[in-house]
Chain A
Amino acid sequence: MQGLAVLFVFQFIGIALHWLGVPLPGTVIGLILFTVSLFAGVVKLDTVERTSSLLLRHMLLFFTPVILATTHVVSSTRGQLVAFSASLVISLLAVLFTTGVVTNALLKLRTTADAETSEASAE
C-alpha cells in the first residue's frame, strides 16, 4: 500500500509539473523524478519493490480497455491501413536492427579493450 501511495504521489507531482509548463507527459516526469529519487536514496527500494513488480507484471491488464477501444478506432481509419501496417513493421525492424547492432558493436569494442569478469560471465 505504501508503495502504491509513493507511485501515485510521483505521478501526481509529474502531472502538476506538466500543468505548470514542463513539456513532457506528466507520467514520464513522474517516472524520471521517481528514478532519480531511487538513486538518491530518497525512496528506498524496499518500500516500492513489491508493488512495482506486481504492477509491471500485470501491465497487460491495465491496457486491455485501451486495446478494446482500438478495435473501434482501427476500423474507422480503414483507408489508412497500409500506412498503419507499413509504418509499424518498418519501424519495428529498424529499431531492432539499430539497437541490436549498435549495442553489440559497442559491447564488443569494450570486451576486446578490457576483458572484464562480469562481462565474460554475461556471454
Chain B
Amino acid sequence: MNEIASSPVFGIATTLAIYAASLVLHKRVKWAHPLITTTVALLLLLKFAHVSLEQYQHGGDIITLMLGPATVALGVPIYKHATRLKHALPALSLGIVAGAFVGMITAGVTAALLGASQEMVMSAVPKSVTTPIAIEVAKQLHGIPEISAAMAVIAGAIGSLVGPELLRRLRVSHDLAVGAAMGTASHALGTARCVRDSEVQASSASLAMALAGIATSIMAVGVPVVMRLSSRILAHLHS
C-alpha cells in the first residue's frame, strides 16, 4: 500500500474522485459544502489507509499546479464584466481597492497586537484575497503560505454564509455594491454565493475578486518597506 500511495497517481486519483463525488452530494444535500466534504473525506482516507500527508502531496502538488493557469484565467471575468459594468467602474474600483487596503491593514495589525510572530503577521496580511494569490503573496512576504491559504478559505466560507445579511443591515442596497463587497472579502466562495442570489451581484463579485487580488499583490510590495520604517521609528522612540 505504501509504495502505491507514493505514486503521484494516488493523490490525483483520490482527490479527483472524492471531489467529483462531493459535487454530486452537494446537488442533493445543499448544506454539504464540497469544500468541507472533500477535505474531511480525504483526511479520513489518509488516516485509515495510513498514508502520510507527504506521500499524498506527490500527487497533490500536481493538482495545486493548476492554480497557476486558474489564477491567470481571472482575467476573463475582469474583461467580460468590465465591458458590461463600464458605467459603474470608477465606483467599483475605488470601493474594491479601499476594501483590499483595509483588509491588509486590519489583518496584519490585529495579528501583531495579539502577539503573533512576524511570520504569522506576514501570513495574515494577504488573507483577504483569493487563495492562489494569497499563497503567492505570502511566499513573497516570507509568511507561511498554508496559513494564508487557510485564512483566505475560512474568510471565504464565513463571508459567503453571513455576508449578504450583514450588508443588508449596513443598508448596502445596491446589488453591484453587495457583489463588490462579497468578491473583495470572500473571493471565490463569496462570488459563488452571489451567483445563487443575483446575476448583477455575481458580475461585480467576480470583477472584485480579480481586481482585489491584483491590488493586494501590488500593495504588498510596499509592506516590507513600511515594516522597516515603522520598526526604525519605534527604535528611535525607545532610544
How large, as a class, is the contact surface on chain B? 35 or more
A69 surroundings in chain B (CB, below 8 A): 53, 57, 60, 146
Decide: A73 and B69 in contact? CB cutoff 8 A. Answer: no
Per-residue B-contact encoding for A29-51, CB less than 8 Å = 1, 0 else? 01110110011000001001101
Decide: B106 and A94 in contact? CB cutoff 8 A. Answer: yes
What is the CA–CA distance of A4 and B76 in the complex, to the nearest angstrom?
13
Decide: A25 and B136 in contact? CB cutoff 8 A. Answer: yes
What is the CA–CA distance of A99 and B16 in the complex, to the nearest angstrom?
35
B149 surroundings in chain A (CB, below 8 A): 63, 66-67, 70
B117 surroundings in chain A (CB, below 8 A): 80
* B74 in contact (CB, < 8 A): yes
Interface residues of B (CB under 8 A from A): 11, 15-16, 19, 34-35, 38-39, 42-43, 46, 53, 56-57, 60-61, 63-64, 66-80, 82, 87-88, 90-92, 94-96, 98-100, 102-104, 106-108, 110-111, 114-117, 120, 124, 127-128, 130-133, 135-137, 139-140, 144-147, 149-151, 153-155, 158-159, 163, 166-167, 170-178, 180-182, 184-186, 188, 200, 208, 210, 213-214, 217-218, 221
Interface residues of A (CB under 8 A from B): 4, 7-8, 10-11, 14, 23-28, 30-32, 34-35, 38-39, 45, 48-49, 51-53, 55-56, 58-74, 77, 80, 82-84, 86-104, 106-110, 116, 118-119, 122-123
